[in-house]
């Protein structure tokens, strides 16, 4: 019985850790966009809502968060001008 409880606790810990990695990625990405490229929260939110799957795929493929932010600033700058 103790083995089963340990197995369940390990599964829950891994599940929580994997979930926190995604949250950390999004927070870091938004921070880079705001601090280094001048994006606003609403611009980041609109861009993320439209491109979430593609940006998550870049992260899955091994791109760093900073590289993804550079990509966003280069190719998704129309989100910045849509709020002017």
Count of alpha carbons within 13 angstroms of residue 31, beta-carbon side: 7
User: Could you report the per-residue pLDDT of 24-45, keeping only the tens digit for each?
Assistant: 888 999 999 999 999 999 999 9
pLDDT at 17: 79
pLDDT at 83 over 70: no
User: Could you report the per-residue pLDDT of 1-18, keeping only the tens digit for each?
Assistant: 888 898 888 888 888 877
Q: Is residue 5 part of a domain?
A: no
Q: Is residue 14 part of a domain?
A: no
Q: Is residue 39 part of a domain?
A: yes
Determine the structural domain holding residue 37 and report its residue range.
Answer: 25-84
The total of structural domains in the chain comes to: 1
Q: Is residue 56 part of a domain?
A: yes
Q: Is residue 69 part of a domain?
A: yes
């Amino acid at each position: 019985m103790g083995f089963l409880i340990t197995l369940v606790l390990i599964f829950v810990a891994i599940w929580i850790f994997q979930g926190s990695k995604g949250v950390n990625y999004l927070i870091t990405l938004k921070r880079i966009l705001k601090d280094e490229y001048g994006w606003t929260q609403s611009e980041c939110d609109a861009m993320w809502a439209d491109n979430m799957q593609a940006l998550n795929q870049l992260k899955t493929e091994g791109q760093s968060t900073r590289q993804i932010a550079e990509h966003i600033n280069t190719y998704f700058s129309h989100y910045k001008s849509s709020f002017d």
